[in-house]
Each structure stands twice: as C-alpha cells, then as structure tokens.
Amino acid sequence: MAEGKRLKELAELVGGFLKGDEATLITGVASLEEAKAGDITFISHRRYKRFLATTGASAIVVSPEVAESVEGKNLIVVENPYLAFAKIMSHLKPVTHPPAGISPEAHIDPSATIGSDVSIQAGVFISKGAKVGNRVVLYSGVYIGDNAEIGDDTVIYSNVSIREESKIGRRVIIHCNSVIGSDGFGYISEGGKHHKIPQVGTVVVEDDVEIGACVTIDRATIGSTVIGKGTKIDNLVQIAHNVRIGENSIVVAQAGVAGSAKIGNRVTLAGQVGVAGHLEITDDCVIGAKSLVSSSVKNKGAYTGYPLLEHKRWLKAQTLVQKLPEIKDKLRELEERLNRLEKK
Amino acid sequence: MAEGKRLKELAELVGGFLKGDEATLITGVASLEEAKAGDITFISHRRYKRFLATTGASAIVVSPEVAESVEGKNLIVVENPYLAFAKIMSHLKPVTHPPAGISPEAHIDPSATIGSDVSIQAGVFISKGAKVGNRVVLYSGVYIGDNAEIGDDTVIYSNVSIREESKIGRRVIIHCNSVIGSDGFGYISEGGKHHKIPQVGTVVVEDDVEIGACVTIDRATIGSTVIGKGTKIDNLVQIAHNVRIGENSIVVAQAGVAGSAKIGNRVTLAGQVGVAGHLEITDDCVIGAKSLVSSSVKNKGAYTGYPLLEHKRWLKAQTLVQKLPEIKDKLRELEERLNRLEKK
Amino acid sequence: MAEGKRLKELAELVGGFLKGDEATLITGVASLEEAKAGDITFISHRRYKRFLATTGASAIVVSPEVAESVEGKNLIVVENPYLAFAKIMSHLKPVTHPPAGISPEAHIDPSATIGSDVSIQAGVFISKGAKVGNRVVLYSGVYIGDNAEIGDDTVIYSNVSIREESKIGRRVIIHCNSVIGSDGFGYISEGGKHHKIPQVGTVVVEDDVEIGACVTIDRATIGSTVIGKGTKIDNLVQIAHNVRIGENSIVVAQAGVAGSAKIGNRVTLAGQVGVAGHLEITDDCVIGAKSLVSSSVKNKGAYTGYPLLEHKRWLKAQTLVQKLPEIKDKLRELEERLNRLEKK
C-alpha cells in the first residue's frame, strides 16, 4: 500500500465521475474524522456533510447530491458511495493470505487429496481421506477430519475445527476457532438417564458462505445440516443438528437455531435471537434482536418479541407494558368513581 | 459399513419382532424421506405413517400400533422405535476414533502419566504432572494443563483447552474448542478499578458427562466447579466459577449459569436461559427457553419468563401483554361512559 | 505451597491486626465450610459467623466487627476481609506459568521481534512482523498474525487466535480459545446478495484488560475497535467492529455489543445483555442481565429490560405484567357494574 494509487485509477475502478486533481496519490483509507493527507474517505449520509470542511482526506467518495455543494475538494461521485468505497478498500488494501505452499510442520495424512496453489501453515492437521481444493488457505491450528471436503478458494482461519465428513463449498470464509460438524445434541432419556443418539449425519456449507468466529454448526443426526449459498453468519452463533438455512440469509451474533428448524432465503435473524426446533421461517423475514421464535412464521415481514409478534404490534404492546403503572392507577380511579356512583 | 448387516441380526440386537425377509441386507441408515434401497429407517410418530408407502427404505423400525396397518414392508417391531433405531445406528455406523498410538508430533511432558491404548494425535500438548487414563482419545490441538486428570475412555475433540488441575471423569466426551478451567470472573473493585481475585480452585467433570463445542466452564475461586455424573451440556454454554450442577441434567445451547449457582438433578435449562448467581434450582425443574432465573426455584415444575413465572401463568400473562392495546381501549371506553354517567 | 507461611507474615502482608498465635503455619486457602487444619479462610458477611464455631481453618480473616465476638481462634483483623484474603491467596498460591524459554517446536517467523524472558510453548505460531514484549507468556496453540503486537507481561492462554495488526497492551490476560481481530460483520446487499465490505481496521486492547474464554472481538472496518484500560470481559462475549469500550468497565458472560456502539467508563453490562449498534452508554451505568439496549443511555444509573427501562420502573412494570390476569378481571367487573348503572 505504501506506493498508493492515483485518484484517476480509483475513479475508473468504481465507474465514478472525478472532480478535482486526477493525479492525487492515494495511499490509505480512513473514516471522515480520522483521515489525513494521502487517505481517501467517503460520506455515507448527508448528515456527515459538516465534516467535509475539516477532514484531512485527500479525496472523498460522495453521492451526486452531496457533490453539488462541495468546493475545493477532490471527489469521486457515484450513486452508491459506500459500495464504491468498499471496492476501493479492497483495491488499496487487498486481503492478503500466506503465500502458496505447504508447511513441512503441517500434519497431512498421505491419503488426503490436496489441490494446487494451496497455503497450509504449520500446525494444520488434515486427516485421512480429506479433500482440500485449489487455492485453499488453511491457517495454523486448523483441524480437518476424515473425508471432509474443502472447496476451491476457501479460507479457514486459525484454530477452526472441521469434523469428519463435513462438506465445505467454494469461496467460503470460516473465521477463527469455529467448529463445523460437532455432534448434534440428541439423547433418549429413560429412567432419568440420557442415552446418546449417534449423530451419523453431516454438515453441508454451500458456496460463498461466511462464518464468523467461535460459531458452532452441528452435524445432523442423519442426513445433513445445511447452510445455503451466500448466507452470512456472525460470531458465536449456534446452529443445531438438521437445521436448514436457505440462501443469502443473515444470522447475527449470538443467535441460536434449534434442531431441525428450517429458515428460508433472505431471512435476517438479528443478534441473540433464538429459534425453537422443528419450525419454519419463510423467505424474506426479519426477526428483531433477542426475539424468541417459538412457532412457524408463515408470512414474510418484520417480527419481534418474546413471544414473537409482528414488529409494530410488539412496539405498541411494549409501550403499554411501560405504562402499566398508569393503567393500574386509572383502573383504581375508575373503580372509586364507580363506587361513589353506585352509592348514590 | 459397505458390507452391511442382515435384518435378522438387527432385530435381535434390539430385541424386536421381525416381520418380513430376515435376510435383507442393510447397509445404511436414513430418514424416512431420504432412505433408499439398503437403508433402514424408523417412524417416530403416527403422523409420519403416510410416508410409509413411498419410502425407499429396505426396512423400517416401527411400534406395534403402526405395524398393524402396514403390509409388504420389512419391519422391526419394538415398543420404542427411536431407541431401537439409535442402537442400530451405533451398530451400523459405530463412532470411530483414530487407532491407538501416540504421535511423535504430540508434545508430552516426561512427568505426565499416560494410560494404555490411548490415541494421541499430532499437535496435542500435555503439561507436566498430567494424568491421562486408558483408552483416552485426544485429537489434534488439545491442550492439557499441569496436573490435570483425564479419566478412562474419555474422548476430547480438537482444539479443546483443559487448564491445570482440572479433573475430567470417565467416558466423558468434550467437543471441539471448549474450555475447561478458565479463570472465574472475580474482581474486587476499589476506587473504580478492578483487582483480580486469584482463582485457585478447580473444575470437576464427573463420569458420563458430555460437553458441546465452544463451551466454557470456569475454575472455582476456591474449591470446585462441579458438573455431575451423566449431565449433558450443549454448545456455547457458560458455566461460571463455583457452580454446581447435579446429575443427569440437561443444559441447552447458549445457556449461562452465573457464579455459585446450584442446579439440581434432572434439571433442564433450555436454550439461552440465564441463571443468576448464588441461587438454587431444585431437582426436576424445566426452565423454558430464554428465561432469566433470578431467584431460587424451590418447587419442581416448569417455569418460563423474564422474570420467571410458573410456565402456565407466564403463558397467560404474555397473552394479555399482546392484548394490552385492547385493554387500554376498553379502559378509555369505560372512562368515557363513567364521565357521561357522572354528568347526569 | 507445601512449606506454607507463618501467620505473622500474612498479617503483615495485608496490614492486618493479628489476634492469636503468630507462629501458626498456613499451607492452604479454603472456604469457611471446607477449610481444614493448615488452611486460612475468611468471612465475607456477618451471616456466616455461625460457621466460625465449626470451621477447621487454622486462621480466619475477619472484620473488626466480627472479631469482637470471636474467642479461641487465630484471626487477622482488617477492614476489607475479602480484599485481604485475595492478597493472601496470591501470596500462598501465586499463579504460575511455564518458565521462560522458547520451545523449538514453536513456529516463529524470522521477521518477528521477541522480547526477553518470554515463555513460548510448543505449538505457538507467530507470523511475520509480529512483536512480542518482554516476559510475555504464550501457551500452546496461540496464533499471532502478521504485525500484531503483544505488550510486556501479557499472558495468552492456549488456542487463542490474534489476527494480523491487532495491538494488545501490557499486563493483559486473554483466556483460552478467544479470538481478537476477526473480520467485522459487514456487507452491502444488492439484489438479495451480500457483498463483503473489507474489514481493514484493527483492534486495540489497552493495558490491564482481562478477556475471558471464547470471546470474540472483531477488527474495525476502518479505524479501531478499542477495549479501554482496565476493562474486564467475561466468557463468550461478542464485541463487534468499531465498538469502543471505556476504562474499567465490566462485561459479563454472553453479553454482545453491536457495531460502532460506544460504552463509557465504569459501565457494567450484566450477563446476556445485548447492545444495539451506533449508540452510546454513558459512564457509570449498570445494565441488568438479559436487557436489550436499543437506544442511547445518557444519564448514569441502573437500567433493565427488553426494551430498557430505569431499573425501578422496570421492576414495577414487570410486577404488573404478572398481575395482568387480575387487571383483566377487574376491568370486566367494572364494565359489568357500569352496564348495570347505565340500565338504571
């Protein structure tokens, strides 16, 4: 990054209109408030326009609307400044991984199949029959169980555990210390004791999924636990056995989904949501933070609460919970007035 | 599993009555809907009977009641089909671990004591004075601290950390990336600063306990944190210092138990439950998902809520919370009618 | 510890008044109920005075008030018995770490800078450009990414992952299997698909912070996620990108803080609390267990609830939620009485 890029190149990269000095050298990215000479920044919202006068940035990515009212600054004008800025960030500070190569300090079973141009650090453990695709990156401490499969261009960060038979797609990212394929939590209880039900199924993580740090995804009892293509999972999320999550869904930190629940496409589970087992959430639902979903959600929409309500109804009910002391007082007042009326 | 087992052998294994061709070769297990030729499956509930006509399974484990109405299928008839099926799963697809042997790439302190027939993979670290029992399986990345003890036949999956002095019983299973014996969260605050209280106690995990992935169990300040015999703990659970959990209890994913709480025998804490510190939950209680237990529960039963109520009372109160808008409207209506009456 | 310390030495250590035999040999610490000969214990509260008669402890740390009524026991009398006892614990059972030395089985990039008197176990991985301070302790399985910095006297337990560029201060403690510097959870969604926003910022953990087990702290999108000096974080906590936590705050187990939230100094977030993104919590607030903070908290005080209320108001409202069945009945009664009055 030390060398930087000319502003002209960045404007072309994002298909933006350049206003100002196209030869300006950009060497870094920063927030509006922290940017200094050499940095490029962006404005996500009109209300931050006031920072334009004082920012030290050498260039700013803005919308046409904001561009109109700014003078004397180098601007890249685009319809979606945040998206354009994200592309510029990737260009200026590309994510780098260790160069291709297999550390002699990694433990790789001779029966494993390893693709080309992989990067495997010291301390990686690959069990028998595992298949690792091309250009896969495995950081130190990654454990890959028997016959597990890792698709091309997937990146697995340090200390992740992938249990046997799990199937991880292409271009998947799994962050540090997550666990894929741990046994589902299944017992048959008899006389107060719990007998383990073998968990002989597996986990399928489809292409373009991203999984945060310290996430746990359990293998199915039989069949598969499935995370659909393009779905993104935040840190410390629990996905139980036989759960199916559709495509392009979002599961925010510390949410948990119980066994055999089926989540649709483009669903958002906000932070700390709980979803009970054996139910369905249909496509395009948004479940508010900390909600408990304890029965199926059949119509798309926004829902919140414990128990779950349509979001607007929940807001109204919660406002009234806070007013319960006044409701109680009013009730007593009415009763006293009734008492007086009845005595007459 | 490629070779499979004859149906007669499986019927005998579970003490079931065989209806159909006893020589049928069974090579796999599957769900009713996904089963194909060679698979055995089961029916857990009458409502799935409709799948019987279309399942591709070569045999089905059923209850006597279901068996009556089925013709032309190979059946194993037992009182508890799920339990029998679990036994068949274990028989057809036994859990396999790496063969006995100690990897030269494991780091084992010379002062550690290692039992017979253990399986210790590359990347395991065993500290001084640790004791590892017979037939113990330690996957790659397991860390065993000073003087920790691991009982016979215990299995510890990859990247688990067991801190010094922890005592793990026999036939315990600890899933990937869990932590046993981390310091309890204890400080003395003076003048707005927090001084660490040394956590010099330990953790005792009794026999036949199973611990999920990314679970944290803190060591006691002094004395022991105890997980009782046969208790099963799901993923991402937090057990704080000096907690005592009784025997054969169930702690579902993402539940948390604060310091010095005492949980009885055969208690179920459902998912995302929180238990405050220094309280007791008596034997045979079931605490519903997402509840907060903030005072002791002295009578066995089912409880739910934040704050906690008897489950039935909670259901009633929550139904009324949803009706608060109507209650408010009714209150206003009554007030207006009163106003009119008073004016007369 | 086998040799023990004389009671006189311990009394001097904590500046306490010694009542009894100053030559008593103390070899261990224990709780009041579990203490045996050779142990020292303490009384935290008057209500435990009844145990004094039966404790097997050889000495007890007590307050002046308690000391008055006790005869025939060896006492150390101090104003704050728990604080004094904590000091005695540290003195009798000091936390020990592996002796200084760098294992030849650790992987250390030649470009990394390693301080003096460090202790680095087998299975540690240190990437290029990383800086490790003096007397740092790194347990087995610790991963330190490119250019990450670890301050003097910091202890990092087994299987912790510290991603590239993270800056960890001095005297920091990070417990097993935690993750510092994982990518923030940021996407731009277009047409139902989610495009990853590069997370090019970092994490700064200031001096004297303690971080529990299986904690996740995400790197900033741009700029830094900051954990202020002296703040203590319990197990399984999630800190999202660009969060700033002030000094000497307390974050209890399983709490989660969403992106760009700003938490003040000396704030307590109790267990399982959720804090929404882009808001502020001012200094000296206490947020009760399981609360959801969904708008900024501008005045110091105690708050609880979902949604959040002043703690006292929340208690009142919750009591009334439980009484909703009675409120409903009362409402019906009033209505009937009104009906009768109106008919007259």
Rounded to 10°, the helix C311-322/B311-322 angle is 100
Tell me whether C2 touches chain B (CB under 8 Å): no
| Closest chain A residue to the Cα of B326, Cα to Cα | A317
Nearest CA distance, A234 vs chain B (angstrom) = 14
Q: How many CB atoms lie within 10 A of CB C238?
A: 30
Residues of chain B positioned with their CB less than 8 A from the CB of C159:
141, 143, 159, 161, 177
* Dist CA A283 CA A280 (whole Å): 10
> Looking at the predicted structure, is the pLDDT value of residue C238 above 80?
yes
Q: Which residues pair with B132 in a beta bridge?
A: B114, B150
Tell me whether A192 touches chain B (CB under 8 Å): yes
Q: Which residues pair with C265 in a beta bridge?
A: none
* Dist CA B158 CA B142 (whole Å): 6
The 10s digit of each residue's pLDDT in B289-300 is 999 999 999 999
Nearest CA distance, C220 vs chain A (angstrom) = 11
Pairwise CB contact (< 8 Å): A235 & C216: yes
Tell me what the mean pLDDT of segment A241-254 comes to: 98
Over its C-alpha atoms, chain C yields an Rg (Å, rounded) of 27
Pairwise CB contact (< 8 Å): A200 & B93: yes
* Dist CA B213 CA A182 (whole Å): 7
Q: What is the dihedral of CA A40, A44, A46, A47, to 10 degrees?
A: -100
Q: With contact defined as beta carbons under 8 Å apart, do A238 and B236 qualify?
A: yes
Name C171's Cβ contacts closer than 8 Å, sequence gap at least 6.
C151, C152, C153, C154, C207, C208
Out of B93, B139, B230, name the one closest to residue A198 (CB).
Answer: B93
Give the strand pairing for C302-305 and B5-6.
Answer: unpaired
Angle value at C-alpha B124, between B121 and B125, nearest 5 degrees: 155
**Tokens describing residue B124:** 């395991």
Residues of chain A positioned with their CB less than 8 A from the CB of C335:
none
Out of A98, A159, A265, name the one closest to residue C161 (CB).
Answer: A159
Q: With contact defined as beta carbons under 8 Å apart, do B292 and B308 qualify?
A: yes
Total residues found in chain A within this entry: 344
* Dist CA C125 CA C105 (whole Å): 10
* Cα distances (angstroms) measured from residue B79 to each of B62, B76, B224: 8, 10, 42
Q: With contact defined as beta carbons under 8 Å apart, do A213 and A156 qualify?
A: no
Nearest CA distance, C201 vs chain B (angstrom) = 26
* Dist CA A181 CA A163 (whole Å): 5
Give the strand pairing for A202-205 and A113-114.
Answer: unpaired
> Looking at the predicted structure, is the pLDDT value of residue B1 above 50?
no
* Dist CA B4 CA B36 (whole Å): 14
Catalytic residue (one of A97, A107, A194, A241): A241
Q: For position A343, what pLDDT does the model report?
A: 86
Total residues found in chain C within this entry: 344
Q: Which of residues 56-115 of B touch A (CB under 8 A)?
A: 80, 82-83, 86, 89-90, 93, 95-96, 98, 103, 105
Nearest CA distance, B191 vs chain A (angstrom) = 33
Q: Which of residues 297-326 of C touch B (CB under 8 A)?
A: 306, 318, 321-322, 324-325
Per-residue pLDDT band at A1 (split at 50, 70, 90): very low
Tell me whether A197 touches chain B (CB under 8 Å): yes
Amino acid identity of residue A339, one-letter, is N
Pairwise CB contact (< 8 Å): B161 & C177: yes
Pairwise CB contact (< 8 Å): B274 & C252: no
* Dist CA A206 CA A302 (whole Å): 26
Q: From the candidates A82, A88, A138, A158, which should be mutated to test the interface with C, based on the most C CB atoms within 10 A?
A: A158
Half-sphere exposure of B298 (CA within 13 A, CB side): 1
Q: With contact defined as beta carbons under 8 Å apart, do A26 and A59 qualify?
A: yes
Q: What is the pTM of this model?
A: 0.96
**Tokens describing residue A195:** 């007998």
Residues of chain A positioned with their CB less than 8 A from the CB of B96:
146
Per-residue pLDDT band at A241 (split at 50, 70, 90): very high
Tell me whether B341 touches chain A (CB under 8 Å): yes
Nearest to C140 by CA among A191, A317, B122: B122
* Dist CA B320 CA B311 (whole Å): 14
* Dist CA A269 CA A259 (whole Å): 16
Residues of chain B positioned with their CB less than 8 A from the CB of A163:
157, 176
The DSSP letter of residue B46 is G
Tell me what the mean pLDDT of segment C128-157 comes to: 98
The full set of domains in chain B, from first to last, is 5-92 (3.40.1390.10), 101-314 (2.160.10.10)
Name A246's Cβ contacts closer than 8 Å, sequence gap at least 6.
A228, A231, A263, A264, A265, A266, A267, A283
Q: Is the dihedral of CA B1, B5, B10, B12 positive or negative?
A: negative
The 10s digit of each residue's pLDDT in B44-70 is 777 788 888 889 999 999 999 888 888
Pairwise CB contact (< 8 Å): A123 & B123: yes
Mean of all residue pLDDT scores within chain C:
95
Q: How many CB atoms lie within 10 A of CB A2?
A: 5
Out of B86, B236, B325, name the one closest to residue A316 (CB).
Answer: B325
The 10s digit of each residue's pLDDT in B9-23 is 999 999 999 999 999
Q: For position A68, what pLDDT does the model report?
A: 86
| Closest chain B residue to the Cα of A185, Cα to Cα | B234
Q: With contact defined as beta carbons under 8 Å apart, do A165 and A147 qualify?
A: yes
Amino acid identity of residue A178, one-letter, is S
Pairwise CB contact (< 8 Å): A223 & B95: no
Per-residue pLDDT band at C1 (split at 50, 70, 90): very low
Pairwise CB contact (< 8 Å): C29 & B338: no
The 10s digit of each residue's pLDDT in C182-225 is 999 999 998 899 999 999 999 999 999 999 999 999 999 999 99
Give, for C192, the enclosing helix (H) or strand (E).
none
Out of C183, C192, C309, name the one closest to residue A322 (CB).
Answer: C309
Q: Which of residues 120-139 of A touch C (CB under 8 A)?
A: 121-123, 139
> Looking at the predicted structure, is the pLDDT value of residue C292 above 70?
yes
Pairwise CB contact (< 8 Å): A253 & C276: no
Residue corresponding to tokens 């309500």: A309
Out of B141, B183, B337, name the one closest to residue C342 (CB).
Answer: B337
Tell me whether A222 touches chain C (CB under 8 Å): no
Total residues found in chain B within this entry: 344
Tell me whether A334 touches chain B (CB under 8 Å): yes
* Dist CA A58 CA A64 (whole Å): 18
Q: From the candidates A44, A216, A290, A311, which should be mutated to test the interface with C, based on the most C CB atoms within 10 A?
A: A290
Pairwise CB contact (< 8 Å): A330 & B325: no
**Tokens describing residue A313:** 């109804």
* Dist CA A225 CA A213 (whole Å): 19
Rounded to 10°, the helix A311-322/B311-322 angle is 100
Out of B123, B236, B341, name the one closest to residue A238 (CB).
Answer: B236
Nearest CA distance, A190 vs chain C (angstrom) = 32
Amino acid identity of residue B119, one-letter, is S
Name B177's Cβ contacts closer than 8 Å, sequence gap at least 6.
A159, A161, A177, A178, A179, A214, B158, B159, B160, B213, B214, C159, C177, C214
Q: With contact defined as beta carbons under 8 Å apart, do C107 and C126 qualify?
A: yes
The 10s digit of each residue's pLDDT in B222-278 is 999 999 999 999 999 999 999 999 999 999 999 999 999 999 999 999 999 999 999
Residue corresponding to tokens 């919140």: A304
Nearest CA distance, C290 vs chain B (angstrom) = 7
Residues of chain B positioned with their CB less than 8 A from the CB of A138:
none
Name C121's Cβ contacts closer than 8 Å, sequence gap at least 6.
B107, B125, C98, C103, C106, C138, C139, C140
Q: From the candidates C79, C88, C171, C290, which should be mutated to test the interface with B, based on the most B CB atoms within 10 A?
A: C290
* Dist CA B244 CA B224 (whole Å): 8
* Dist CA B140 CA B158 (whole Å): 5
Poorest-confidence range of A197-201, A244-248, A315-319, B196-200? Answer: A315-319
Chains touching chain C, criterion 3+ CB pairs below 8 Å:
A, B
Determine if the peptide bond prior to B307 is cis (ω within 30°): yes
**Tokens describing residue B20:** 């159909």
Nearest CA distance, B4 vs chain C (angstrom) = 40
Name C269's Cβ contacts closer than 8 Å, sequence gap at least 6.
C249, C250, C251, C252, C255, C257, C263, C275, C287
Q: With contact defined as beta carbons under 8 Å apart, do B16 and B72 qualify?
A: no
Residues of chain C positioned with their CB less than 8 A from the CB of B192:
248, 265-266
Tell me whether C248 touches chain B (CB under 8 Å): yes
The string of DSSP codes covering B133-161 is -TT-EE-TT-EE-TT-EE-TT-EE-TT-E
Hey, is A221 helix, strand or coil? coil
> Looking at the predicted structure, is the pLDDT value of residue B2 above 70?
no
Question: How far is Cα of residue B186 from the mean position of the Cα atoms in its chain?
Answer: 27
> Looking at the predicted structure, is the pLDDT value of residue A262 above 50?
yes
Q: With contact defined as beta carbons under 8 Å apart, do A96 and A114 qualify?
A: no
Amino acid identity of residue C300, one-letter, is K
* Cα distances (angstroms) measured from residue A324 to each of A191, B312, C319, C329: 45, 21, 9, 15
Nearest to C218 by CA among C205, C234, C228: C205
